[in-house]
C-alpha cells in the first residue's frame, strides 16, 4: 500500500513541520480554504508566497546594502515580510521577522541580522517543497487536513 | 437591505431588513500589495460568500472606489504599501465616501492601530487574517446603514407610516451620522465651547457633540488653509487651532467633512456660492432623497429628531446663516422643480429653524398647511407624536398642541429629536459644520431644519423628487437597498448631493473665503460659505438668535413646520443628479443606494447641481435679504412655489415639529 504509506508519510511530515514550529494554525486555515473550486489552494498560496518573499528579501538586502540606516524603510519591508509569512503560517519565519523588527526599532541592524531571516526562509522553502511534492503524489482526495 | 424601524415607546429600534442571504454578496474591495495576502484574503472572503475585488495598488483602488460609487460596501486596506500609505488611502476614502474601511496589517503596534482608529477605520485586523475576523465583517456595513438609517428614518418611515400611522414608532433616528456619532463620541469630549452651545439648547438630550462654532470653525479653516487642505492633518490643525476643548479626533472628523464639502464644492464649481451665500450644503433639489427619507417617513416627530441630528451636521452648515437662503433656494427649487415629492423634509427642516419656522409656520401658508397636514398625518411616527396634531396641518404651527409633537421621551424619537433639535440649534447657531457628509440625507435634514418652513417645503419637494426617482416610492425605502450598499446611499445620494450642489454656495468656501466673514455660514459640510453680504446677513440673523432655535418650543414649532416641510421639494427636475444618483445608486443591482457615490456626496451630478444652485442663489439671496428676522422667511418663501400636489402626494415623514 504504497499509497497509504505515502499518505502516512505526508501526514507525519506535516505533523513534523508543526511540531518543529515551522508551521502554525494558519496553515490549517489555508487548508480549510481548499475546496473543490480550489483544490490546490494551499500549494498555490505557498508558491505565491515564496515568489513574493524572495522579492521582498532581495529588496531588504538591497536596502541593507545601500541604506542601512533607513530603519523605517527596513521595518516597512519587514512588516510586509512578516505579514506574508504569517499568512501562510510560517511560524518560525514570523518570529525571525519579529526579531528583525525589534532590531529595527532599536536601530540595531547589522549585516547578519537579516541572515537569520534568510536562512529560515530557505529552510522552510525546502521543507514545504518536499511536503508538497509528496502531497502531489498522494493526490488531492487523500489530503488530510487535520485542523487543530 | 432594508431598514425598518420599530417604533413604540422607548428608543426606536432600527431593524435592518437584510437580504435573506446576507451577508452574502457584500461587496468588498481588498487593497494589499502583498499578493499572498491578497490571495488568501480573497479566498477567505469568497468562502464567506462575499463579493470580492482585489487590488494590489492603493491608487488603483482609489480610482475604483471613485469610479464605482456605490460599487462597494466595505474596503479592506493594508497599512504598509509601497505606493501609498494605507492611512492616506483611508483618509481619502473617508473624505470622499462613507464606506467603512478596515485596516489590515501584520503590524500590531499600538501606534499603528491607534492611527487606524483615529483616522476613521472601522476596524483593524492583524495578519494573518482569519476567517473569524472576516466572517463578521458585515457588521460594519450594517452599522453604517444603521446610522444612516437614523438619518433617513423620517423618509423611510413615511412609507411605513402611512401604514402604521399614528404609531409614533418612528423614532427619530435619523440622526445625522456625524451628529450622532459626534454626539456619542463627543459626549465625553465636549466641553468648552461645546458645552456652551449645548446648554443653549435647552433640550435635555445629550450634549455630546463638539459644536463647531463659527469661531472654532474659522480657526479650523484658517489652520487648514495655512497647512494646505491636502496636507492638513488633524494633529497639526489641532496645534494650530490651539483650542483646548477639542481633541484630535474632533478635528479629524471635522476635517473629513470639510474635505468632503470642499470636494463637493469643487464639483459644484461656480455654484458654490449661491448668491446669497447660503450654504450650498443644502442641495434641496437633489437631495430630496435624503429629505424624503426623513421627512415623509416620520411624522413630524420623527423627522425632527433625525433630521435634527442630521441637520446638525449639514444643516448647521447651511443653516447657520443661510437658513434663509436655503429656504430661498428651496423656493427656487420648487419653482424649478415642481416636485412634490415630499415636502416632508421641509417641515422638518423648518422645525429646526425655530425662529423662521415658527414665523413661517405661524403664517399658514398654503404649503405649510397642506404640508403640515400631510406631514402630520403621514408621519405620525415621529417620536414626537405628531399624531395628535395631524389635524393641524392647516395650522402651520400647531404650536399649541395640535401637533402632537411632543417630545415625549417615551416617543420613539423624542430623544433623538431633542437631540437633534439641540444639535441643530447649536449647529445653526454656530454655523457649525457638522454636516455629516456621509449622509446626504442628513444634509437634507439639516438643511430643512435650518430652513424656513417654506424652504423646507421647497427642499422637500425638491428633495423628494430626486428621491422619487431614486427609489420611486420613498426615498427612504429605496434607500434601503436590497443589497448592500444601496440603502443608505440611495437615500442620501440625492439629498446630500443636491444640497451640496444646490447650495453650492454654502459649501465650504475653503478657508480663503471664509476668512472674511465673521459668521461662517457653513455649508452642508460645515464649510464656510463665502462671505456674502446676504449670507452674512442671513447668518447673522440666524446666528443671532440662537436661543430661538434652541428653545424647545422652537423645536416644537419646528415640528409643525416640519410637517409642512415634509412636502418634499418637488424635485421634478430631479436634477439629473438625482437621477444619476439613483442611477448610480441603482447600479448595483440591488439597492438604490447603489450610488454609494451618490451617497458619498461627491457624486452629485453636475447637471443637477447646476440646476439648483443658481436657482437657489437667486431665491436665497432674495429672500435672505428680505428676511429680517426669524421667521421672516415665510414671506419670502413662496410656498406657492411648491406644488401642493407634490406636497400632498408626498408622504410626509415625521416632521420635526
Q: How far apart are CA B496 and CA B479, in angstroms?
A: 13
Q: Do B131 and A32 touch (CB under 8 A)?
A: yes
In this prediction, residues B69-96 reach a mean pLDDT of 89
**Alpha-carbon A48 to chain mean position:** 10
Instruction: Reply yes or no on whether the pLDDT at B53 is more than 90.
Output: yes
pLDDT-derived band at B344 (thresholds 50, 70, 90) equals: very low
Phi and psi angles of residue B78, each rounded to the nearest 5 degrees, phi first: -75, 160
Cβ–Cβ gap B106/A26 under 8 Å: no
B37 chain-A contacts, CB cut-off 8 A: 83-84, 87
Please give the pLDDT value at position B342: 40
Q: pLDDT tens across B526-537, in order?
A: 444 444 454 444
Name residues whose C-beta falls within 8 Å of residue A32's C-beta, 6 or more positions apart in sequence. Answer: A145, A147, B131
Q: What are the tens digits of pLDDT across the range A20-70?
A: 988 998 898 888 888 888 888 999 999 999 999 999 889 888 888 888 788
Mean pLDDT, residues B422-430 taken together: 48
Q: What pLDDT score does A100 carry?
A: 86
Could you read off the pLDDT of B165-204 as tens digits, one per residue? 444 444 444 444 444 444 444 444 444 444 444 444 444 4
pLDDT of B191: 44
pLDDT, mean of residues B227-232: 82
> CB A89 to CB B128 under 8 A?
yes
If pLDDT is split at 50, 70 and 90, which confidence band does B52 have? very high
Asked whether B610 and B501 are in contact (CB, 8 A), the reply is yes
B66-75: average pLDDT:
88
Give the Cα separation of B78 and A80 in Å (integer).
9
Q: pLDDT tens for residues B92-102?
A: 998 988 899 99
Q: What pTM was computed for the model?
A: 0.43
Peptide bond into B128 cis (omega under 30): yes
Taking the C-alpha atoms of residue B177 and residue B197, their distance in angstroms, rounded to an integer, is: 19
Q: Tell me which of B33, B43, B111 to substitute to probe the interface with A (most A C-beta atoms closer than 10 Å).
A: B43
Q: Are B70 and B599 in contact (CB under 8 A)?
A: yes
| Cβ neighbour number for residue A147 with a 10 Å cutoff | 10
- Place B294 in a pLDDT band, splitting at 50, 70 and 90: very low
Bond prior to B163 in cis (omega within 30° of 0): no
Q: What is the pLDDT of residue B212?
A: 81
- Restricting to B residues 151-190, those with a Cβ less than 8 Å away from any Cβ of A are none
Alpha carbon distance A39, B260 (integer Å): 45
Q: For chain A, how many helices (H) and strands (E)?
A: 6, 0
Interfacial residues of A (vs B; Cβ cutoff 8 Å):
26, 29-30, 32-33, 35, 38, 41, 44-45, 48-49, 51-53, 76, 79-80, 82-84, 86-89, 97
Q: Average pLDDT of B73-94? A: 90
The complex's ipTM?
Answer: 0.89
In three-state secondary structure terms, B143 is: helix
Amino acid at each position: 500500500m504504497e499509497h497509504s504509506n505515502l499518505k502516512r508519510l505526508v501526514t507525519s511530515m506535516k505533523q513534523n513541520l508543526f511540531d518543529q514550529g515551522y508551521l502554525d494554525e494558519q496553515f490549517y486555515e489555508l487548508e480549510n480554504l481548499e475546496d473543490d473550486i480550489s483544490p490546490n489552494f494551499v500549494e498555490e498560496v505557498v508558491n505565491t508566497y515564496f515568489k513574493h518573499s524572495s522579492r521582498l528579501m532581495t529588496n531588504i538586502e538591497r536596502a541593507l546594502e545601500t541604506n542601512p540606516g533607513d530603519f523605517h524603510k527596513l521595518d516597512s519591508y519587514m512588516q510586509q515580510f512578516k505579514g506574508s509569512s504569517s499568512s501562510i503560517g510560517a511560524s518560525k519565519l514570523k518570529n525571525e521577522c519579529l526579531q528583525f523588527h525589534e532590531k529595527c526599532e532599536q536601530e540595531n541592524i547589522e549585516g547578519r541580522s537579516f541572515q537569520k531571516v534568510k536562512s529560515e526562509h530557505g529552510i522552510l522553502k525546502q521543507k514545504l517543497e518536499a511536503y508538497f511534492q509528496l502531497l502531489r503524489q498522494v493526490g488531492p482526495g487523500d489530503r488530510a487536513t487535520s485542523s487543530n | 437591505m432594508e431598514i425598518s424601524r420599530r417604533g413604540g415607546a422607548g428608543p426606536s429600534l432600527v431593524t435592518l431588513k437584510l437580504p435573506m442571504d446576507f451577508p452574502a454578496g457584500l461587496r468588498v474591495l481588498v487593497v494589499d500589495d502583498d499578493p499572498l495576502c491578497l490571495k488568501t484574503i480573497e479566498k477567505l472572503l469568497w468562502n464567506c460568500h462575499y463579493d470580492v475585488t482585489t487590488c494590489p495598488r492603493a491608487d488603483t483602488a482609489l480610482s475604483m472606489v471613485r469610479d464605482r460609487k456605490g460599487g462597494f460596501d466595505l474596503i479592506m486596506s493594508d497599512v504598509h504599501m509601497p505606493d501609498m500609505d494605507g492611512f492616506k488611502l483611508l483618509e481619502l476614502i473617508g473624505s470622499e465616501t462613507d464606506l467603512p474601511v478596515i485596516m489590515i496589517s501584520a503590524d500590531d503596534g499600538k501606534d499603528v492601530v491607534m492611527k487606524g482608529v483615529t483616522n476613521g477605520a472601522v476596524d483593524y485586523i492583524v495578519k494573518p487574517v482569519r476567517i473569524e475576523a472576516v466572517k463578521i465583517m458585515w457588521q460594519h456595513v450594517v452599522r453604517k446603514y444603521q446610522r444612516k438609517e437614523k438619518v433617513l428614518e423620517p423618509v423611510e418611515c413615511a412609507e411605513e407610516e402611512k401604514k402604521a400611522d399614528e404609531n409614533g414608532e418612528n423614532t427619530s433616528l435619523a440622526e445625522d451620522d456625524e451628529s450622532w456619532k459626534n454626539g456619542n463620541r463627543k459626549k465625553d469630549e465636549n466641553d468648552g465651547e461645546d458645552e456652551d452651545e449645548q446648554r443653549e439648547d435647552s433640550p435635555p438630550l445629550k450634549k455630546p457633540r463638539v459644536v463647531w462654532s463659527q469661531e472654532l470653525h474659522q480657526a479650523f479653516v484658517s489652520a487648514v488653509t495655512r497647512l494646505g487642505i491636502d496636507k492638513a492633518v488633524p494633529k497639526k490643525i489641532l496645534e494650530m487651532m490651539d483650542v483646548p476643548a477639542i481633541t484630535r479626533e474632533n478635528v479629524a472628523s471635522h476635517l473629513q467633512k470639510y474635505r468632503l464639502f470642499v470636494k463637493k464644492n469643487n464639483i459644484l464649481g461656480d455654484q458654490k456660492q449661491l448668491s446669497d451665500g447660503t450654504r450650498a450644503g443644502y442641495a434641496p433639489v437633489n437631495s430630496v432623497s435624503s429629505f424624503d427619507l426623513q421627512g415623509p417617513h416620520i411624522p413630524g416627530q420623527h423627522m425632527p429628531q433625525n433630521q435634527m441630528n442630521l441637520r446638525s451636521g449639514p444643516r448647521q452648515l447651511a443653516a447657520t446663516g443661510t437658513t434663509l437662503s436655503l429656504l430661498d433656494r428651496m423656493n427656487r427649487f420648487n419653482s424649478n422643480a415642481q416636485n412634490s415629492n415630499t415636502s416632508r423634509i421641509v417641515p422638518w427642516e423648518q422645525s429646526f429653524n425655530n425662529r423662521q419656522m415658527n414665523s413661517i409656520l405661524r403664517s399658514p401658508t398654503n404649503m405649510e398647511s397642506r404640508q403640515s397636514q400631510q406631514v402630520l398625518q403621514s408621519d405620525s411616527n415621529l417620536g414626537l407624536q405628531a399624531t395628535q396634531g395631524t389635524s393641524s396641518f392647516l395650522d402651520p404651527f400647531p404650536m399649541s398642541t395640535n401637533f402632537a409633537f411632543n417630545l415625549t421621551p417615551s416617543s420613539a424619537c423624542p430623544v433623538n429629536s431633542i437631540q437633534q433639535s439641540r444639535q441643530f440649534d447649536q449647529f445653526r447657531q454656530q454655523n457649525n459644520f457638522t454636516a455629516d457628509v456621509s449622509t446626504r440625507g442628513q444634509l437634507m435634514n439639516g438643511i430643512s431644519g435650518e430652513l424656513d418652513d417654506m424652504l423646507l417645503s421647497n427642499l422637500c419637494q425638491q428633495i423628494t423628487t430626486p428621491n422619487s426617482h431614486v427609489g420611486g416610492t420613498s426615498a427612504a425605502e429605496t434607500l434601503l437597498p436590497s443589497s448592500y450598499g444601496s440603502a443608505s446611499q440611495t437615500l442620501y445620494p440625492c439629498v446630500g448631493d443636491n444640497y451640496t450642489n444646490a447650495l453650492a454656495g454654502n459649501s465650504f468656501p475653503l478657508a480663503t473665503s471664509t476668512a472674511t466673514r465673521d459668521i461662517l455660514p457653513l455649508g452642508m459640510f460645515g464649510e464656510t460659505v463665502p462671505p456674502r453680504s446676504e449670507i452674512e446677513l442671513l447668518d447673522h440673523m440666524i446666528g443671532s438668535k440662537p436661543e430661538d432655535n434652541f428653545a424647545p418650543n422652537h423645536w416644537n414649532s419646528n415640528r409643525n413646520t416640519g410637517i409642512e416641510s415634509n412636502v418634499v421639494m418637488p424635485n421634478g427636475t430631479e436634477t439629473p443628479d438625482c437621477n444619476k444618483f439613483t442611477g448610480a445608486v441603482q447600479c448595483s443591482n440591488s439597492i438604490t443606494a447603489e450610488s454609494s457615490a451618490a451617497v458619498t456626496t461627491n457624486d452629485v451630478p453636475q447637471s443637477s447641481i447646476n440646476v439648483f444652485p443658481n436657482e437657489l442663489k437667486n431665491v436665497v439671496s432674495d429672500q435672505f435679504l428680505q428676511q429680517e428676522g426669524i421667521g421672516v422667511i415665510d414671506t419670502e418663501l413662496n410656498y406657492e412655489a411648491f406644488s401642493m400636489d407634490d406636497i400632498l402626494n408626498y408622504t410626509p415623514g415625521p416632521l420635526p415639529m
